[in-house]
Amino acid sequence: MGAGADVVPEAGAGADPRGADVGGVLTVASGAERPKPLHDPDPYSTPPYGEPGPWAPAPPVQHPAATPAHGTVAAGLPASGVAAVPSQAPPAGAVPDPALADAPPPVLPARHPAGSAVAAVPSQAPPPGAVPDPALAEAPPPAPPTAPVHGATAAAVAPAPAGSPQAPVPPGPGGDGQGGGTDPWGRYDPWAVSAAAPLQHNGAAAPTREQRRKRAGKAIAGGALLIALVSGGIGGALGTYLERNGGVGTVELPQAGKEAAERAPDSVAGIAARALPSVVTLHVSGSDSAGTGTGFVLDDRGHILTNDHVVEPAGSGGDITVTFNSGDTAEATVVGRDSGYDLAVVKVKGVSGLTPLPLGNSDNVRVGDPVVAIGAPFDLAGTVTSGIISAKERPITAGGEEGDGSDVSYVDALQTDAPINPGNSGGPLLDARGRAIGINSAIRSADSGGAESDGGQSGSIGLGFAIPINQGKRVAEELINTGKATHPVIGITLDMNYSGDGARVGAKGSDGGPAVTTGGPGAEAGIRPGDVITAVDGQRVHSGEELIVKTRAHRPGDRLELTLERDGKETKVSLVLGSSDGG
């Protein structure tokens, strides 16, 4: 094959009807210079540069076809998978070379995977004027190639009918001439619609049903979130607009429906509803002053209990007007008063159908019990406040404006945090059952050093004091029955300037007489001037005021046990309280 560059395969020579690789008969032009190829032979048989010579055919239309799976061999093809290379037709006027008539045409290698099958591609017809080879005149031309179904290997190439002008079809790349499929690139048409071509897999894993379900769930969740965000934005914008512009129509505010007027009996409202008809407001005027206070009805005969400092401005010729919760008014007169207890009783005239306020027992009261106060602070009649009992037996003194101490009241009081203000004086302090357990009398103000009657202008700071109802009942009964109240006495005069602990008996009486009344309860018990009384019935006393308060908490005739200190020694004495008329 050393002279392979000087020979040209004759068209149609050596073509096997089955597409086998058969060498063609080569001829050499006589008397003429053999044409030289325009370029070096292409070992890969790539169209249009597959063979030398100026008559190299144009690139044929190519169609893609599926390649058999790796390791398989198409039907009718050898394992090598290399097809025969087509022979080129001789140029016009060329004379075949007898010496090379039996030489097979050169076969050029082609790059195709083993086992692939590509059908032979028909060769071009000889140019006009070419002389056919007599030895091959009878050889039948190869049959035109038939394109196999996409994805299947060609079985064999059928021979072309006799007289066909087509040259033998060279096997495409990857064929060996022993039968194979059509070259997938030999008839490629970039504009053709490959309707029969199956879909190709891109290599990605196909999603499972669970993955598709999860993707669908995520898509639904995302859509719902998007809808919620959009809806929220629209709603917020609409709400802001309506809020700034007052809505889209008339405004109608929500309101609770009508409810029953009844309240629980032990509630503040229930207590107030029962007690208010028995509470009155007193307007007092005299020649020098006037004032306002509160009182409550004791019986159906028109007796009303209040504080002494409330009716004091009226004196002996002033006016007292009583206003009931219903708004009715009536004139009242003083029945009796006692400055030492700060209590007074007045009586209205010409009034019937009064509702007395039930009385409780102050000895049953315990610290922390709920209480309700009713009064007319600053002439605001029917004011109701509530709180608890803060302390019991709180010794307080009130009054003292006279200077001689005749108007000082000594009260073993109930302390409460229920607000009590000027005008509440004489009003009732009620327990949880609506019963009077005290008479509101004094408050401790922030700008005063002690308790004072609430007839002043100081306001409540949560320190209110009430006379226990047990003491008030006894004094009221005495005032109604006799017009005056009696005070329990020990029959001694105290040194009110003593600054030590306890109450010291003075050296002499206020009128210059003896400090221990001759024949009185103290003298009979053996009390002497200079003795210091430190306890009453076992309860410690720290001053003369406390001793008076503890004594007045009892009735005349009650027995007391006193603890004394004399010459550094402690002793106890027992006595029966005497009685004196109050002033």
- Catalytic (active-site) positions: 309, 342, 425
Q: What is the spatial distance between Cα 207 and Cα 186, in angstroms, rounded to a whole number?
A: 37
Q: What is the spatial distance between Cα 55 and Cα 255, in angstroms, rounded to a whole number?
A: 105
287 CB burial (10 A radius; 0-12, 13-18, 19+): exposed
Cβ-Cβ contacts under 8 Å for 440 (sequence gap 6 or more): 294, 373, 375, 420, 424, 425, 426, 427, 428, 429, 454, 464, 465, 466
Give 197's DSSP letter. Answer: P
Nearest 5°: phi and psi at 87? Answer: -90, 150
- Distance from the Cα of residue 533 to its chain's centroid: 66
Q: What is the spatial distance between Cα 47 and Cα 212, in angstroms, rounded to a whole number?
A: 48
3-state secondary structure labels for all residues of 508-549:
CCCCCCCCECCCCHHHHHCCCCCCEEEEECCEECCCHHHHHH
144 CB burial (10 A radius; 0-12, 13-18, 19+): middle
Listed residue (31, 439, 430, 480) closest to 269, CA to CA = 430
Q: Which tokens go with 436?
A: 């009077």
Q: What is the CA radius of gyration of the chain?
A: 67
